[in-house]
Amino acid sequence: MRLDIPMTKKLDLVIIGGGCAGYPAAVYASRFNLKTLVIAKEQGGLITTTHLVENFPGFIALTGQELADKLKAQVEANNVPIETDVVSSIEKKGKEYLIKTSLEEKEYLTKTVIIATGTKHRHLDAPGEKEFQGKGVSYCATCDGPLFKNKVVGIVGGSDSAAKEAMVLAQNSKKVYMFVRSTLKAEPINADRIRKLKNVEIIEGVKVNELKGDKFLSHVVLDKEYKGSSKVDVQGLFIAIGMLPQNELATSLGVKLNKVGEVIIDRNSVTNVDGIFAAGDVTDTPWKQGVIGSAQGSAAANSAFEYINNKF
């Protein structure tokens, strides 16, 4: 068995996830003088795909990538190591946990774990979606929007996130259709912004039933006619219909989840499993915001510190 950190020099805390929850947790863990490691496949988390952040304390406006970079720099300034890797398993070893990774094939022994794995994009699960991924279908306007400059695109969803995605697309695309299953439910300020854009057309009360094309996406089929036809020509389709918690590691440990698969925590980010804490969008917090995740990550680090003091 290969241990990157010798058994005689065990870790106090491993934080899984490098985003708005994981990074602040690492900063506080350092202040508590815990031997800490951050492991994350994608540094920065989903916030890096956000075009504009206007609601994070201390900043009037900045991109998601800029915010993630600042949070990461703070972790590095506190001398907490960050590994770009994937945790493949967590196994209980006495009072501690053995963590194995798949990319670098490393192993770590730790007293506590903070799960800050966030969420992943929910898929539409309509015929043609899988076939046209990377050929017109995308889940990130900031990432792929520039590829559709002066083209006609659509976006599925009516949430605040969908409205923000539509605003990003409107900067490059000739025309943007918003396919909204019920009604637009964005924050009032963003709903007003989106309705003022001349190249955005909001179609409410429709469902995208199918995606069609040849080598690349050419059109979508709606469940009802719009302006005389159920067919709408688009060269790109962006899916923004919500997120799913990345709870696989939590599930393997017997951590309790709610009915939608989110990790159940108390106000101190404590789960039902000793030594396991959670923070951010993977948890059952009803309001998914970067500032909320940051607060939960900080609380999780404090809870890990208190747990170690009481149990070891």
Q: How far apart are CA 276 and CA 164, in angstroms?
A: 34
Using 50, 70 and 90 to split pLDDT, how confident is the model at 7? very low
Residue 51 has pLDDT above 50, yes or no: yes
Residue 4 has pLDDT above 90, yes or no: no
Average confidence (pLDDT) over 262-280: 98
Residue 43 has pLDDT above 90, yes or no: yes
What strands, in cross-sheet order, belong to the sheet with 175-180?
137-138, 236-239, 152-156, 175-180, 200-204
- Name the least confident of 46-50, 126-130, 265-269: 46-50
Give pTM, 2 decimals.
Answer: 0.87
Average confidence (pLDDT) over 143-159: 94
Average confidence (pLDDT) over 208-231: 96
Using 50, 70 and 90 to split pLDDT, how confident is the model at 8? very low
What mean pLDDT value characterizes the chain? Answer: 94
pLDDT, residue 44, reads 94
Q: How far is CA 51 from CA 39, 41, 168, in A?
A: 25, 21, 7
Residue pair 153/177 in contact by the 8 Å Cβ criterion: yes
3-state secondary structure of 69: helix
Q: How far apart are CA 64 and CA 218, in angstroms?
A: 31
Sign of CA dihedral 15, 99, 274, 7: negative
Q: How far is CA 290 from CA 28, 105, 152, 273, 281, in A?
A: 16, 31, 31, 25, 9
**Alpha-helical segments (H) within the chain:** 22-31, 64-77, 141-144, 160-170, 188-196, 248-252, 290-311
pLDDT, residue 9, reads 54
Burial readout 121-150 (b: 16 or more C-beta within 10 A, e: otherwise): beebebebbeebeeebbbbbbbebbeebee
Using 50, 70 and 90 to split pLDDT, how confident is the model at 192? very high
The pair of structure tokens assigned to 30 is: 């350092």
Helices 64-77 and 22-31, packing angle to 10 deg = 20
For residue 58, give every residue at least 6 positions away whose Cβ sits within 8 Å of its Cβ, in sequence order, or none: none
Of residues 267, 269, 264, 268, the one with CA closest to residue 279: 269
Residue pair 269/255 in contact by the 8 Å Cβ criterion: no
Largest CA distance in the chain: 72
pLDDT, residue 65, reads 94
Strand partners, 204: 180
pLDDT, residue 182, reads 96
3-state secondary structure of 9: coil
For residue 287, give every residue at least 6 positions away whose Cβ sits within 8 Å of its Cβ, in sequence order, or none: none
Q: How far apart are CA 15 and CA 116, in angstroms?
A: 7
